[in-house]
């Protein structure tokens, strides 16, 4: 739908009782979207977008233009503002063998139908999602509000966050209409600090695993988890710190060596709650 008519089309779909609307159109006037989102808020429709790549559950369904071949069914949820980075994250997870439950591109415009705090609770209610990758960018305060929600809600899945636009000068729009630093808000460092401070709750025995066997075919619960240390941010996002040294073993999920495991045991690296598909 062309930008001048897209907001009206969104409202028509909501008025008709559509439960899910995905608007991929870029360049919709901001005031049009303010009017459209206010209207949608009074209906049963969940709006994704505008200016987004859509939604995909690999092997089941897709709305939008996320490339089919980059996804594979798995255990990681993806929510992102950037369309291209959505594709890259999906492809990286697929090639690493983790796959995705659902990937949601929320869009990069200043006014959105759904933000991070609207999508994260859906992943929290999905038992198949064992970790979430959050891809943000400069501009607005969506990432900071997501960090606050992660902290206040007790979200019990690892959240790996990436923020683009770290080199953007203040007042300069970088790509998306919403990717602009205004005054003291919207900076990449502010978002990184907020997400790094959003520590998840302490791990439990049922969700903390101690690495792979030598053949990578089985997981073994770690008996040392209660004394393994506190959760802390690792490079690239928020992830559990379980003591020891950073993992450098090829093919293992980023984490920490368990302080209670034998140093010479092959493949015994803490992987957090994520279990690689066999």
Instruction: Name the residues annotated as catalytic.
Output: 176
Nearest to 268 by CA among 75, 186, 253: 253
Q: How far apart are the first and last CA of the chain?
A: 42
Spatial CA neighbour of 252 closest among 232, 237, 274: 274
* For residue 50, cis peptide bond before it (omega within 30 degrees of 0): yes
CA atoms within 13 A on the CB side of 202: 8
Is the CB of residue 143 less than 8 Å from the CB of residue 116? Answer: yes
Residue whose entry in the numeric block shows the structure tokens 């609207």: 118
Give the burial class of 235: count Cβ atoms within 10 A of its Cβ; 0-12 exposed, 13-18 middle, 19 or more buried.
Answer: exposed
d(CA 272, CA 278): 16
Token output for 68: 């089919």
Task: Please report, for residues 108, 123, 152, 157, 241, the alpha-carbon distance to residue 238 in angstroms, rounded to integers and kept in the order given.
Answer: 23, 16, 15, 10, 9
d(CA 13, CA 153): 32
**Segments in 52-187 forming alpha helices (H):** 83-95, 116-124, 142-153
Dihedral sign, Cα of residue 236, residue 189, residue 107, residue 141: positive
């Amino acid at each position: 739908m062309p930008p001048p008519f897209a907001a009206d089309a969104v409202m028509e779909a909501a008025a008709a009782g559509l439960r899910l609307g995905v608007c991929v159109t870029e360049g919709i006037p901001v005031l049009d979207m303010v009017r459209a989102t206010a209207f949608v808020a009074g209906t049963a429709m969940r709006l994704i977008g505008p200016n987004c790549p859509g939604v995909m559950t690999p092997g089941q369904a897709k709305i939008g233009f996320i490339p089919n071949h980059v996804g594979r069914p798995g255990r990681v949820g993806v929510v992102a503002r950037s369309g291209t980075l959505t594709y890259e994250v999906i492809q990286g997870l697929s090639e690493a063998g983790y796959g995705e439950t659902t990937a949601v591109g929320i869009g990069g415009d200043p006014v959105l139908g759904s933000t991070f705090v609207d999508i994260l609770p859906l992943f929290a209610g999905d038992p198949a999602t064992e970790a979430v990758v959050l891809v943000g960018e400069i501009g607005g305060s969506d990432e900071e509000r997501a960090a606050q929600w992660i902290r206040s809600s007790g979200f019990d899945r690892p959240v790996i966050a990436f923020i683009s636009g770290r080199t953007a000068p203040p007042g300069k729009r970088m790509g998306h209409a919403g990717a602009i630093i205004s005054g003291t808000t919207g900076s990449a460092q502010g978002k990184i600090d907020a997400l790094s401070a959003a520590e998840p709750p302490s791990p439990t025995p049922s969700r903390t695993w101690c690495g792979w066997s030598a053949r990578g075919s089985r997981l073994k619960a770690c008996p040392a988890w209660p004394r393994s240390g506190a959760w802390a941010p690792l490079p690239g996002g928020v992830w559990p710190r379980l003591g020891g040294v950073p993992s450098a073993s090829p093919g293992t999920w980023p984490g920490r060596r368990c302080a209670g495991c034998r140093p010479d045991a092959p493949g015994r690296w803490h992987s957090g709650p994520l279990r690689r598909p066999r």
